[in-house]
């Protein structure tokens, strides 16, 4: 069971960087190729920048060339929630953190490997915990 993290909008605004707030709490998207983890190959665990939830392992990260960190699968399927997102005239599937509800990015069906999934995630929504 995941303990949910619930905070007011004002609390989030105070605690998060302006960039992380915009993505996690306002469903924003960081500019392509701008994020700190786009090209990162360092081994470790990517946690939610909002609540620390364990989201993605570096083993599942690959370079999709799209400008955002891309993963074939979450560390644990129960740590993310998927939701239809039809904003901007596009049919996409939104990826949210299951603990704090923060917006992470979207998942697409053009990924490599057996699942064919590409979890396209905003860098600023993540914090890399390097492997020790």
Task: Name the binding residues.
Answer: 48, 51, 97, 100
Q: Which is nearer to Fe ion, 54 or 59 (CB)?
A: 54
> Interaction with Fe ion in 57-116: which residues (CB under 5 A)?
97, 99-100, 102
Q: 3-class DSSP state for residue 31?
A: coil
- Per the annotation, the verdict on 120 as an active-site residue is yes
The Cα–Cα gap between 114 and 47 comes to: 24
Tokens of 40: 């990162």
The Cα–Cα gap between 70 and 40 comes to: 11
> Does position 51 bind Fe ion by CB under 5 A?
yes
- For the CB of residue 65, give the shortest distance to Fe ion in the complex, in Å: 27
Task: Name the binding residues for Zn(2+).
Answer: 48, 51, 97, 100
Active-site residue, selected from the candidate residues 120, 121, 126, 128: 120
Q: For residues 2 and 99, is the Cβ–Cβ distance under 8 A?
A: yes
Q: How many residues bind Fe ion (CB under 5 A)?
A: 8
The Cα–Cα gap between 132 and 122 comes to: 24
What amino acid positions are annotated as catalytic residues? 120
Chain residues binding Fe ion by CB under 5 A are 48, 50-51, 53, 97, 99-100, 102
């Amino acid at each position: 069971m995941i303990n949910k993290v619930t905070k007011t909008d004002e609390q989030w605004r105070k605690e998060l960087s302006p960039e992380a707030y915009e993505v996690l709490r306002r469903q924003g998207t960081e500019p392509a190729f701008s994020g700190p983890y786009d090209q990162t190959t360092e081994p470790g665990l990517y946690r939610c920048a909002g609540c620390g939830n364990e989201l993605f392992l570096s083993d599942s990260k690959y370079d999709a060339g799209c400008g955002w960190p891309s993963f074939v699968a979450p560390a644990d399927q129960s740590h993310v929630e998927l939701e239809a997102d039809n904003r901007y005239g596009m049919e996409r599937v939104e990826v949210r953190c299951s603990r704090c509800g923060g917006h992470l990015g979207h998942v697409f069906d053009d990924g490599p490997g057996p699942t064919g999934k590409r979890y396209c995630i905003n860098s600023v929504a993540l914090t890399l915990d390097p492997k020790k």
